[in-house]
Amino acid sequence: MEGAAEEALAALAAEASVEVVREVPVDLEVLEEGALVEEVPQEIGRI
């Protein structure tokens, strides 16, 4: 039962990540510098 719960949680996390990527305009140069690292958790918290 635990394995199924973990898989479901992982699937939800993956879907949430995809949604964040769709919503946040990504500038690759900024991303490489790590400037978006502080902004992404705020987007995840909003979901």
pLDDT on residue 10: 81
The structure's pTM equals: 0.32
DSSP assignments along the chain, one per residue: -HHHHHHHHHHHHHHHHHHHHHHS---HHHHHHTGGGTTHHHHHHH-
Q: What is the mean pLDDT of residues 12-28?
A: 65
Answer whether residue 9 shows pLDDT above 70: yes
